[in-house]
Amino acid sequence: MKKQMSSEQETSINHNGNGDGRAEGDLRHDWSAQEVVAVMGLPLTELLYRAQGIHRRHHPENTVQLASLLSIKTGACPEDCKYCPQSAHYAKATGVDREALMDVADVLDKAEQARAAGATRFCMGAAWREVRDGADFDAVLEMVRGVKALGLEACVTLGMLSQDQADRLAEAGLTAYNHNLDTSPEFYGEIISTRTYQDRLDTLARVRQSGVTLCSGGIIGMGESQLDRARMLQVLANLDPHPESIPINALVAVPGTPLADRKQVDAIDMVRMVATARIVMPSSRVRLSAGRHDFSREAQILCFLAGANSIFYGEKLLTTANNDTHEDLALIRDAGLDVEALSGVERSTDSP
Ligand code: SAM
Ligand code: DTB
Ligand code: SF4
């Protein structure tokens, strides 16, 4: 029998506490930093309960999208992002060398392999500060067309873009453009000096204008405060519309980068970040991204409970190791989750 709810319980579920009649889980673009901090600091059980309730209102229950990543152009990036093994500034210490852009045919082979392994989204990353017109960009457009022709969602992350370049990517059929804010506006300068937060927001606006969907999130574990984490989510949540995809990365502390000695992110912090992203951006896909390698199966399941509904799937992220694919499929099967299929959703008990 369905349990009766007390009026107090009903109030906490149906209203956002502002007395403005909006229900919790309605899309909003007016979050204050204090509100986001308060959500993130809720008792964990309450936070998970709220996040899962909102998740079910906006998404199919228990489904996970598998997205595969490929570094199509590795190393020698002129930017100085302190977390990144691909920055030319730390190349001597990281040993990550400059590589040329991959051939279109090789990229499409990898995309086909990812599809055969069960991925429905293929994300191609280039260690560029910005896109330059010419043969390399033309090749990336060809890659996008090829990935789309395989029936996969195509995502690229290429650094800053002009409006014309964003429009050309849209014309090639690109599904999503990944461009992370990474952290709060206040902490940004501690991590990157070669571009500004506003540069990032400008590129996001151009992508939005082109009609390509946005994938934008960030990294925790770089020495930022709870307020910084909340501020990053606040900035994303106050974009209208919200980015369709929110990658939440835990820092992979790569030897040779300035953040090499940062201690590993506590899994509970990751769960809080995922749950808060779910609550403030109810209809977006929350992607459990880098750093998953170091989390237990139980911690990853808590992230799913908190509203994560996608993982990066494949043995490698861009330059660092990702979880073993067989272990990922076993985790999904053991948790009874469904893998999102190319068209619709398919039970994970069948091989994807
Ligand atoms: N150069 C482009 C850019 O910066 O937008 C695209 C590639 S860049 C490697 C993509 C994203 O990977 C970064 O924005 C950052 O959030 C994430 N990333 C890079 N190194 C990371 C690390 N060591 N740990 C966690 N996330 C990382
Ligand atoms: C995102 O937010 N995380 C991915 C993807 N978008 C491009 C990249 C993670 C990179 C982790 C470090 C590496 O493998 O080089
Ligand atoms: Fe790495 Fe991208 Fe920063 Fe370049 S712009 S150093 S590839 S995160």
Q: What is the distance in A from the centroid of ligand 3 to the CA of 42?
A: 34
pLDDT for 237: 96
* Spatial CA neighbour of 320 closest among 288, 297, 290, 289: 290
Nearest ligand to the CA of 203 is: 1
Catalytic residue among 28, 81, 200, 231: 81
Six-digit token pair at 347? 């039970």
Per-residue confidence (pLDDT) for residue 13, from 0 to 100: 39
Share of the chain above pLDDT 70, in %: 91
| Residue ranges lining ligand 1, Cβ < 6 Å | 77, 83-84, 86, 125, 127-128, 157, 159, 179-180, 182, 219, 249, 251-252, 254, 290, 318
**CA–CA separation, 217 vs 28, rounded Å?**
18
So where are the chain's domains? 55-339
How much is the pTM? 0.91
Q: Which of 28, 50, 77, 292 is catalytic?
A: 77
8 Å CB contact between 80 and 188: no
Ligand that lies nearest to the alpha carbon of residue 191, given by its number in the listed order? 3
**Can 215 be counted among the known catalytic residues?**
yes
End-to-end alpha-carbon separation of the chain, Å? 36
Catalytic one of 121, 155, 231, 272? 155
The architecture of the domain spanning 55-339 is Alpha-Beta Barrel (3.20)
User: pLDDT tens digits for 133-187?
Assistant: 999 999 999 999 999 999 999 999 999 999 999 999 999 999 999 999 999 999 9
Marked catalytic residue, from 215, 231, 278, 303: 215
Q: Which one of the ligands is nearest to 68 CA?
A: 2
Å from CA of 289 to ligand 3 middle:
16
Q: Which residues contact 122 (CB under 8 A, 6 or more apart)?
A: 67, 68, 70, 111, 114, 115, 147, 150, 152, 153, 154, 155
Distance 275 CA to ligand 2 centre (A): 20
345 confidence band (pLDDT: 50, 70, 90)? very low
pLDDT > 70? residue 5 = no
Distance 349 CA to ligand 3 centre (A): 38
pLDDT in tens, 14-67: 344 455 667 888 889 899 999 999 999 999 999 999 999 999 999 888 889 999
57 is catalytic: no
Query: What spacing in Å lies between the alpha carbon of 56 and ligand 3's midpoint?
Result: 35
* 7 confidence band (pLDDT: 50, 70, 90): very low
Kind and range of the H or E element at 51?
A: helix 44-58
Mean pLDDT of the chain: 90
The SS3 assignment for 87 reads strand
CA separation for the pair 118, 135 (Å, rounded): 31
Structure confidence by residue, pLDDT tens digits, 76-124: 899 999 999 999 999 888 988 888 999 999 999 999 999 999 999 999 9
> Which residue lies with its CA nearest to atom 14 of ligand 1?
180
Residue 159 Cβ inside 6 Å of ligand 2? The answer reads no
Percent of the chain with pLDDT over 90: 80
Evaluate: CB of 252 within 6 angstroms of ligand 2.
Answer: yes
Q: Active site includes 123?
A: yes
Whole-number Å distance, alpha carbon 254 to ligand 1 midpoint, is 12
Distance 7 CA to ligand 2 centre (A): 45
Atom of ligand 3 nearest to the CA of 77: 4
- At residue 19, the pLDDT reads 56
> Per-residue confidence at 272, pLDDT binned at 50, 70, 90?
very high
Q: Is 98 a catalytic residue?
A: no
The ligand that comes nearest to the alpha carbon of residue 289 is: 2
Ligand 2 atom closest to residue 247's alpha carbon, by position in its atom list: 2
